[in-house]
Chain A
Amino acid sequence: MRWKKQGQLFDFTTSPFTRRYVSHAQSPQALILADRVRIYFSTRTNDAPGKFLSHVQYVDYDLELKAIIGYSDHEVIALGKLGCFDEHGIFPLSPTPVKDKVYAYTNGISRRVSVAVETGIGFAVSSDDGKTFEKRGQGPLVSATTYEPFLVGDAFVRFFAGRFHMFYLFGKKWSEETVEHTSERVYKIGHAISDDGITWQKSGLAIISDKIDENECQALPTVLQIGARYHMYFCYRHMAGFRNEKGKGYRLGYAYSDDLVHWTRDDENAGIDLSDDGWDSEMMCYPNIFTCRDSVYLLYNGNDFGRNGFGIAKLISE
């Protein structure tokens, strides 16, 4: 794969969102509409010192991804009620069009005492081209189960080969605290299938092999079909030290498959990596691939987990 970086696309700091939110435009996710590309992202408010809530907003681009033609200025999807799995944030929201609706799979966040958070995958439906979403039920559609005990989230859903396929994240462990590090999570990428997008069967397997070590964290899978081959991008990092130690933060990983079940990791052919300097020189994370007007694009966040916005790259060759 060969990508040509086109630089930072959306700058939070100069956007109208600064009036309502403090920072971040994380995990961009594209929905292709007739006259625009709607890009959802998660941005933040503070609800207490050092505590924040993630909210979903969007920005609309023209079909050439050159000009901003609209912004959300309303609540796209509400956070959960008291005690619900998505009470303290939704990050990300992943849309997929189904007939005249838009399905959204959300990653809901709620705070815990012994560890930072727990997550679950929520489900919501839009009947207005993705302007607003209505949740189906207060609880998670897919959540922790016997062999995936926590941190189920980051769902990416597409209709491939006659069925719905979900690629998502599930937790493997929470490390014990040490003097140097707080309790850190380890998570891998899983796969589930469904006939209706609502009732899911998990395969129960981590589908992407580790590159760093067994504590490698893998997140935010996104999959594109080109011909008979499926291409997956995701982000991965070290379990600890990923926030500020050089070489331990998120980078983009790549894998391919011909059957959606067996995946071959092949980061060497990802065709995109950290820049020598600039906004994506230390970190690349939260990828989202989409096709618009016969071009394939990759959205992603750069340094500091997308504090200031997200960027875009265009596929040059397979």
Chain B
Amino acid sequence: MFKWRKQGKLFDPRDYKDLTWLDEYAQAPATLLFDDFVRVYFSCRPKRDANGQFVSYSAYVDLDRKDLSCIVALAKEPILSLGKKGCFDEFGTYPVSILRMKDEIWAYYAGWTRCVSVPFNVGIGLAKSTDDGKTFKRLGDGPILPYSSDEPFTISGPKIRHFNDTYYLFYVAGNAWLEIEGRAEISHRIRMATSKDGIIWTKHNQDLIPNAWDEHESQASPDVFYANGTYHMFFCGWVPKNFRDTKNRKIGYASSKDLIHWTRDDTKAGIDISDQEDDFDNEMVAYPHVFALDGKTYMLYLGNSVGRYGFGLAELEGELA
């Protein structure tokens, strides 16, 4: 089992009072390293609208590279506007995953629209930045990874990686809307696509991670990190019939030598909820993101209520092997 030493909560959106686009939630952290700071992208929400519904934006907070507990800057505005009328991302851009591409920075993001028979549908879009990741512009108004015959809806949660001259996009794809106590709840599983240029993608069209919790479990946040000859995936998941019970989210783990065949072993994940009454993560740990910095390996993760009150940091003892 890996051993993660928790460093506590790093960022709490409630600390910022005057931003209309940032009220609560700091979800799905993703890092981009600079010489002096670590930029952590996250997704946040303004207050609910008149109909009681949320939209979500993505933004970033910069942490001192020498002391990650020290915030040195916060985005002045969301990095990306919401999509145009009728587009796949009209009501939300969440989450984002970031990659340097020569002089540009590319953001793969999930765009959210609202449906009638089910609450939402999701597709994956691409936007590019030429100002060090402060602001992004869409490649086009539609999704770069859309719904398809074998992935009929909710293509979400992108994580972009570059291994062995190939781009890998790990994401989740819906396989069923379940009708549970009068609500439609989504079941989605971790999937993958590959590309030579980051734009034209070939879907693998297979579930990567077998179920372990429930036949209809939902998997999310497939965060892949390469270390010591092995690809390590930390992810999270829940059981849709317990979805409204926030305590039912956990972090899972799988490993692979070739990025296609994965061996799941959640007992190795090595991070769980806190047993302290006042901790921000005493009900939930979710949406992991692993990154290396100056010889150490860290994990950012969400605490209670899926990051409503921010995200925290843990440091790995030793290495992933």
Give the interface size class of chain A.
Answer: 35 or more
User: For chain B residues 98-142, which have a beta carbon within 8 Å of chain A?
Assistant: 113-118, 121, 123, 125-126, 139-142
Q: Is the CB of B142 within 8 A of A83?
A: no
| Stretch binding the partner chain, chosen from A84-92, A93-101, A271-279, A293-301 | A84-92
Question: Assuming the A-B contacts A83-B153, A88-B117, are A146 and B139 also in contact, with contact meaning beta carbons closer than 8 angstroms in the complex?
Answer: yes
Q: Is the CB of B115 within 8 A of A112?
A: yes
A137 contacts B by Cβ under 8 Å: yes
Return chain A residues, CB-CB under 8 Å to B152.
80, 83-85, 137-140
A247 contacts B by Cβ under 8 Å: no
Q: Is the CB of B174 within 8 A of A83?
A: yes
The listed residue with most B CB atoms (<10 A of its CB), out of A87, A114, A136, A139, is A139
Return chain B residues, CB-CB under 8 Å to A80.
152
Return chain A residues, CB-CB under 8 Å to B91.
114
Q: Is the CB of B142 within 8 A of A141?
A: no
B64 contacts A by Cβ under 8 Å: no
A205 to chain B, nearest CB (A): 14
Question: Assuming the A-B contacts A144-B123, A146-B139, A149-B141, are A183 and B88 also in contact, with contact meaning beta carbons closer than 8 angstroms in the complex?
Answer: no
Return chain B residues, CB-CB under 8 Å to A175.
85
Return chain A residues, CB-CB under 8 Å to B142.
144-150
A171 contacts B by Cβ under 8 Å: yes
Return chain B residues, CB-CB under 8 Å to A88.
116-117
Question: Assuming the A-B contacts A88-B117, A145-B143, A146-B144, are A114 and B149 also in contact, with contact meaning beta carbons closer than 8 angstroms in the complex?
Answer: no
B148 contacts A by Cβ under 8 Å: yes
A113 contacts B by Cβ under 8 Å: yes
B32 contacts A by Cβ under 8 Å: no
Q: Is the CB of A111 within 8 A of B147?
A: no
CA distance A136 to B148 in the complex (A): 10
CA distance A173 to B144 in the complex (A): 18
CA distance A113 to B53 in the complex (A): 12
Q: Is the CB of A137 within 8 A of B148?
A: yes
Return chain B residues, CB-CB under 8 Å to A151.
86
B245 contacts A by Cβ under 8 Å: no
Question: Assuming the A-B contacts A83-B121, A139-B153, A140-B149, are A150 and B88 also in contact, with contact meaning beta carbons closer than 8 angstroms in the complex?
Answer: yes
A196 contacts B by Cβ under 8 Å: no
Partner pick for B184 among A83, A147, A173, CB 8 A cutoff: A83
CA distance A185 to B126 in the complex (A): 24
- Write the chain A residue with the least CB distance to B91: A114
Partner pick for B149 among A110, A139, A176, CB 8 A cutoff: A139
Question: Assuming the A-B contacts A82-B179, A85-B152, A185-B86, are A143 and B117 also in contact, with contact meaning beta carbons closer than 8 angstroms in the complex?
Answer: no
User: For chain A residues 109-162, which have a beta carbon within 8 Å of chain B?
Assistant: 110-115, 118, 120, 123, 136-141, 143-151
Question: Assuming the A-B contacts A144-B123, A185-B86, are A82 and B184 also in contact, with contact meaning beta carbons closer than 8 angstroms in the complex?
Answer: yes
Q: Is the CB of A143 within 8 A of B114?
A: no
B33 contacts A by Cβ under 8 Å: no
B87 contacts A by Cβ under 8 Å: yes
Q: Is the CB of B118 within 8 A of A82?
A: yes
B150 contacts A by Cβ under 8 Å: yes
Return chain A residues, CB-CB under 8 Å to B121.
83, 118
Top 7 A-B pairs ranked by shortest CB distance?
A137-B149, A139-B152, A149-B142, A174-B86, A146-B140, A111-B116, A113-B114
Q: A82-B118, A144-B142 are in contact. List 11 more A-B contacts (CB 8 A).
A: A81-B176, A110-B116, A113-B114, A137-B150, A138-B152, A144-B146, A145-B140, A145-B144, A147-B140, A183-B85, A183-B86
